[in-house]
Amino acid sequence: MYYGWIIVACAFATLAIGVNARTAFSLLYPEILAEFGWSRGETAGAFSMGFVFAAGMGPLVGLSLNKFGPRIVMPTGSLMMALGLVGTTYISAPWMLYVTFGVLVVGASTILGYIGHAATLPMWFQRRRGLAVGLAFSGAGVGALLLIPLGGVIQSLGWREACWAIALVVIGLLAPLNLIAQRRRPEDMGLLPDGDTAAPLAAGAQPKPLGGPTLAQAMAMPSFWFIAIAAFGMLWSWYAVQVHQTQYLIDIGFNANMATLGLAAVATFGIAGQINGGWMADKIGREGAWTIGCFGFAACYAILILMREAPSLPLFWLMIAAQGLLGYGLTAVFASAPADLFQGKNYSTIFGVLSVAASLGGGAGPYFTGLLHDIFGNYETAFLVCIGWSVISVIAIWIAAPRRARRRNAEAAG
């Protein structure tokens, strides 16, 4: 069996826990608000602060993955996340939450989550890049099933005990798994992407070196900046709803158990959404799949606005389907499109810098959504802003045009 599929399985397990340790903030958020009485904008700012820190970490993560490989970097991220979760149980002021959950947990998710894997996993595949990434990233949806019992732990034992439980899983499972199974790229093992085989080299011939643009060359391309804009807008919309959805549903009349179910159900629907998004990205192109995903988030926000006046279970499930089945497909596309444009020996470094825009969007979305709520006393204005960013994201991805690079790569591969 091609070792790339082992990498997919390892990424699946890591994302299942690493992403949902961060997502758990949505469940901790109401409990922290109730215990400390801080404002929503101030409290949600911890999550946003984490993404600002992650933006600064992105280039360093990319460089580290290029130099040391994921076998070293991923376990380091596991230790960082576990320390942050334990530290969160001792908070007594907002700045402490910003450091522990914001900087350490959300920051570590840059390594253990989508960005760290998007910087390495796509290099193992070319023809089936979208599908392979979609399968790996669907681990985040499977792991979201753990949010349901985690919500029970929070309700019965407390949010601090829940943080301890997640920390033990992160350090006990993810660190050794990645130390054993991870590898940097297929060429390091004498393999080719997709498990292809090459003709034997003639005597004295040297293997063809890995090509691709340098970081400076990539940043000189307009497509780099339009991908960055697309990623910023997409992550703004994604994490704004992820952080505020649970509290919003409680505000409009759903009980805490239903609100928790909503968060878990979105990610569970996202299992199919991420796999299908990767498949669609291979079949209809990165731009088309991106458009469908952004439409899912725009529809989700429109439904949430409607639910304020007419909350109902049919709209609840329609909102979840729009996010999970459509919106979550964006993860596979985000990993695939930059790889089409910038694949080569410097790709991890390039993606690490590109991820700065994504992280800034992921941080700005929750913060400004909470801030606009505090200013206007409702979420409608903030949700309309999120719809606007979804539209901008679609426009930017079509201008970036990864389809052209994908055609060139296919022709070069024969």
Burial class (CB in 10 A: 0-12, 13-18, 19+), 365: buried
Q: Which residue has the higher pLDDT, 274 or 322?
A: 322
Q: To the nearest whole percent, how much of the chain has pLDDT over 70?
A: 95
Q: What percent of the chain has pLDDT over 90?
A: 60
Topology of domain 4-189+212-413, per CATH? Growth Hormone; Chain: A; (1.20.1250)
Q: How confident is the model at residue 185 (pLDDT cuts 50, 70, 90)?
A: confident
**pLDDT for res 203:** 45
Q: Which of 54-63, 98-107, 224-233 has the highest mean pLDDT?
A: 224-233
> In terms of Cα–Cα distance, which of 90, 114, 134, 96 is closest to 19?
114
What is the spatial distance between Cα 88 and Cα 250, in angstroms, rounded to a whole number?
A: 24
Cα–Cα distance measured from residue 42 to residue 323, given in angstroms and rounded to the nearest whole number: 26
Q: What residue has token string 């000189």?
A: 220
Predicted local distance difference test score (pLDDT) of residue 1: 87
pTM of the full structure = 0.79
Q: What is the dihedral of CA 9, 152, 86, 83, to 10 degrees?
A: 10
pLDDT band at 248 (very low <50, low <70, confident <90, very high): very high
3-state DSSP call for residue 220? coil
Q: Are 309 and 361 in contact (CB under 8 A)?
A: no
What's the pLDDT at 200?
45
CA 82/CA 88 separation, integer angstroms = 10
Question: What was the pLDDT predicted at 240?
Answer: 94
Residue 168: what residue type? Answer: L
- How many whole angstroms separate alpha carbon 414 and alpha carbon 412? 5
Instruction: List Cβ neighbours of 86 (8 Å cut-off, separation of 6 or more).
Output: 163, 164, 167
Sign of the CA dihedral running 66, 69, 72, 77: positive
Is pLDDT at 7 greater than 80 in this prediction?
Answer: yes
Residue pLDDT, tens place only, 368-410: 999 999 999 999 999 999 999 999 999 999 999 998 887 777 6
What would the mean pLDDT of 347-361 be, rounded to a whole number? 89
pLDDT exceeds 70 at position 228:
yes
Q: What is the mean pLDDT of residues 120-146?
A: 87
Is residue 233 over pLDDT 90?
Answer: yes
- Helix residue ranges per DSSP H, 89-191: 94-97, 107-112, 114-118, 129-137, 139-143, 147-156, 159-169, 175-181
* pLDDT mean over 274-290: 93
- Predicted confidence (pLDDT) per residue in 283-306, tens digit: 999 999 999 999 999 999 999 999
Q: What is the pLDDT of residue 411?
A: 64
**CA 397 – CA 337 distance, rounded (Å):** 9
Percentages helix, strand, coil for the chain, rounded to the nearest 5?
Answer: 85, 0, 15
The model's confidence at residue 202, banded by pLDDT at 50, 70 and 90, is very low
Predicted local distance difference test score (pLDDT) of residue 141: 80
Q: Please give the distance of CA 409 from its chain centroid, rounded to a whole number.
A: 26
Q: Please write the tens of the pLDDT for every residue from 27-66.
A: 898 899 999 999 888 898 888 788 788 888 888 988 899 8
pLDDT at 337: 92
Domain ranges of the chain: 4-189+212-413
Residue-level pLDDT at 296: 98
Per-residue pLDDT band at 206 (split at 50, 70, 90): very low
Yes or no: say if 44 and 138 are a contact pair by the CB < 8 Å rule: no
Q: What is the pLDDT of residue 234?
A: 96
Nearest to 85 by CA among 148, 18, 153: 18
- In a 10 Å sphere around its CB, with 0-12 CB exposed, 13-18 middle and 19+ buried, how is residue 93 labelled? exposed
In the predicted model, what is the mean pLDDT of the chain? 90
H or E element at residue 315: helix 313-321
| pLDDT confidence of residue 158 | 94
pLDDT of residue 184: 86
Q: What's the pLDDT score for residue 10?
A: 97
Structure-token pair, residue 394: 């679609």
3-state secondary structure of 44: helix
Q: How many residues does the chain have?
A: 414
What is the pLDDT confidence band of residue 264, given thresholds at 50, 70 and 90? confident
* H or E element in which residue 386 lies: helix 380-400
- Please name the residues in contact with 382: beta carbons below 8 A apart, sequence gap of 6 or more: 240, 244, 368, 369, 370, 372, 373, 376
